[in-house]
Structure formats: C-alpha cells, structure tokens
Amino acid sequence: MNDTPPLKSEGSRPEKLVYFPRSDGSRIPYKVYSSQAIYDLEQERIFRGPVWSFLGLEAEIPNAGDFKSTFVGDTPVVVTRNSDLSLSVWVNRCAHRGAKVCRAARGNTQMHVCVYHQWSYDTRGNLRGVPFRRGVKNSPGMPEDFDTKEHGMRQLRVDTYRGLIFATFSDAADSLYDYIGPQMRPGLDRMFHKPIVYLGCTRQYSNSNWKLYMENVRDGYHASLLHAFHSTFNLVRVGMKIYSTADENHGMHNWSKIFQTEDSSAGAAYKDNQVTSFKAGMHLEDESILENIQEYDEIVTNHIQPIFPQLVVMQIQNTLAVRQLLPKGPSNFELIFNFFGYEDDTPEMRHHRIKQANLVGPAGLISMEDTEATELVQVATASDGDDCSMADMGRDAPESEQMGSGITEYRIRRFWRGYQKLMGL
C-alpha cells in the first residue's frame, strides 16, 4: 500500500491517510477497504474507542462458570458468567507473558489457567494463583512487592440490553442504553420481547473488508437485485412498504423493516428492467422454507438492524439471528450467525426456524450472495486507492425516519459520515 505513515508516528494528522471528496458520505475512497494504516486506526479509534461492541447473547452463557471466547475488533476477549450470575469480559491475554489463556470457543469453568506457566485466574479475570510464587529451595520466587491484585487480565466495561451482551474499552463511552439510542431500542424491543433460546451458530470468512459488509446491511438498493430469492419469491420487491431509520446520535446504527406485500404485477418491474436475478419461471418443489408464520403484530418479511460496529440483528421470515461481524485485517472478516428462537416456540415452529436458517449463513440461499458481492468489490478496488465508489441513490430525498421505497443508499451515506467523525478523518 502507498499509505502515508500511520497516525501514531505523525501526531494528529489522520486526514493525510485518506481524503473523502464529498462531505455527505456519497463518495468512498477505495483505500478505506484495504489500507493497513486505516485498519490500525480503526482498532484504536473505533474498537478501543467510545463504542459498545456486541459479544453474544446472555442465552449462550446462562450458567455460572459458562464462558465464550470472542473479539472486540481484533482483540481477543472472553465473556464469562460469574458465580453471582453477573457478567465479566476480559482481554484474553495472560498478565505474565502475554499468552492466550482461554483456548476454547465455549465451555464452563470456575478457573482459567494459562498453559504456559500455569497462572490461574477466576471468572472475572483476577489473578488467583502463581506456581512457585514463594520460591523453592535456592530460588526466592517472585519479589516481595509482587501483588496478585495488580496483575489480573484487563477487564472491560460490560452491559446488556434485552439479553444482548456488549463491552467497551472506553470509560468515556455513553451508557449502553444511550449508545443504542431511542431510534434503535424499539427494534431490539420488538425482536427480544420475550425469553429466547440459543439454537447454534454458523461461521464464515470473507476475503473482504468489514466495512463492505457494514455497507451491505445498510443497502436497500441491492436487496431485490442481488438476491434471486428475494425478487423471484416476493420476499423483497420494489414497491413493498418499508420503514427505515438511522439513529440520531451518530447515524451509524440503522433499522429497516419490510412489510410483506402481495404483488399483483407478478414482478413486472423486474421484467421491465430486465433484472437477470429475477427468475420468472423458477419455483420450488417444497415452498415451506419460504413460509412466514405470523408471530408479531405486523407481517414483516425482513427486519435488518445493524448496531455499530459488531452486530446485525435480523429476522427474515421466521429466521431469527444476531450476526456478529469481526474484522480480521484490512481485507478479511469473520461473520457469525447466532440463531435463536423463543422459549415458548411450539416444536413445529422450532423445526421451521431451523429449516429456514438455510436461507442465511455461509451457504444460505439468500445471504451467500452478500459476501460474494463484498469480495467482488474488494478485489476490484485494491488498486487506485484515491478513486471512489459512489452512493447517490436517493440523495435528493430527505434522510429522516421514513416509510417508502427501499431503493435508497441514505443509510450508507449516514454510515460514512459517522465513520469519518469517529475516526477523525
């Protein structure tokens, strides 16, 4: 890459890293998708900055001693359930020589022991044991002034909203309640209005930048054009009633909700526009995978709600999931779909949700195409970093909370404006 040196060595001049030619978020320099220097700055200003990162569901770790390994940005952390059922989050790095302490993805234990020299920590990350601390025979052991209380693993602020677990490195971050904000809370209240059960997860890697996925989940324009299932089977079509909003605080959380609508034209708009992903003659032998059994006040086909930076809450028909997005360098990310149902689901509904999970995830009949699309952008934008992609669709329309067509890129523009502010670019 031809980046100027990273910010740290230059004092405070991040604007040299990248130049956004318009202030409205509609021009995105390609460099932001592949620059190592920008990636490093994101880790500092976003993931270790004043944001709350989503780590998992309380339902994943219900019992005392349960734990889950995950990440805040690219920093490995562990979420644990303490004996009093409170939650802790700590950086998964031994206070001795920096080894990764917890090596399991999930499990249950009261003590986390580092294999390197067997230092042991409780569920809160406090140091409890140091072998040979008092010495043996001719060795004096650790110095007199060594205090285990000063050598725990780094602990993060942790909080929950409706059973969703978040953590932050920042003491300056708003409360989680305010961070989620009044525009977004109703969406989470809708999805988590009663107790849930965790059903399992899928994991996948994409050879593309994490922000391309952040754009994708804010991109109403692509939904019925990229995804053959959406347009062909009338899951999402232009003309459907859509509610969408962005949070008023920083604009980086969004929510769109698409209402199921019959289309008496049988997809005429797609035929007229010669949309190749619309398959007029295609049908399924068994259509039950598409079924939307009504379970809320309104019949919604898609509820997609990214809570910046690591969470996307989704309902597609009766499939419920929280997607966790984890950056893995400038041109890779990991995407985890954590599926859930409600505790009071009938066995039939539970079976239906699990079958319908085939719409999403790594080989999902719908969502396989999203990571393919982000990789197409990644590979074609790796050079000419000062050139820009554009997001002008619907630019002349007002940006406030709206009911209307999904054919807009305003949520992408809001994202990039918030990103520039947070990054100091």
Residues in 81-100 that interact with ligand FES by CB under 6 A: 94, 96-97, 99
- The 3-state DSSP class for residue 413 equals helix
CB-count exposure of residue 261 (10 Å: 0-12, 13-18, 19+):
middle
Q: Residue 96: which of ligand FES, Fe ion, none does it interact with, CB under 5 to 8 A by kind?
A: ligand FES
370 belongs to the binding site for Fe ion (CB under 5 A):
yes
Q: Which residues pair with 113 in a beta bridge?
A: 120
Locate 25 and state its tokens: 């978020």
Residue from 116, 132, 146, 205 in contact with ligand FES (CB under 6 A)? 116
For ligand FES, the closer of residues 113 and 226 by Cβ is 113
180 belongs to the binding site for ligand FES (CB under 6 A):
no
Q: Does residue 341 contact residue 295 with C-beta atoms inside 8 Å?
A: no
For Fe ion, the closer of residues 99 and 290 by Cβ is 290
Residues in 362-381 that interact with ligand FES by CB under 6 A: none
For ligand FES, the closer of residues 116 and 132 by Cβ is 116
409 belongs to the binding site for Fe ion (CB under 5 A):
no
For residue 263, what are the CA distances in angstroms to 176, 271, 397, 404?
A: 41, 13, 25, 16
Minimum distance, C-beta of residue 129 to ligand FES, in the bound complex (Å)? 10
**Short-list 235, 302, 241, 238, CA closest to 271:** 238
Q: Does residue 148 contact residue 128 with C-beta atoms inside 8 Å?
A: yes
Chain-centre distance of CA 170, in angstroms? 19
- Number of chain positions touching Fe ion (CB under 5 A): 1
Minimum distance, C-beta of residue 225 to Fe ion, in the bound complex (Å)? 9
- Among the candidate windows 63-71, 109-117, 203-211, 347-355, which touches ligand FES by CB under 6 A? 109-117
For ligand FES, the closer of residues 132 and 177 by Cβ is 132
Q: Residue 114: which of Fe ion, ligand FES, none does it interact with, CB under 5 to 8 A by kind?
A: ligand FES
For ligand FES, the closer of residues 80 and 206 by Cβ is 80
117 belongs to the binding site for ligand FES (CB under 6 A):
yes
For residue 193, what are the CA distances in angstroms to 140, 156, 163, 317, 394?
A: 58, 27, 10, 17, 33
Count of Cβ atoms closer than 10 Å to residue 288 Cβ: 9
Q: How long, in residues, is the chain? A: 425
Tell me which residues touch ligand FES (CB under 6 A). Answer: 94, 96-97, 99, 114, 116-117, 119
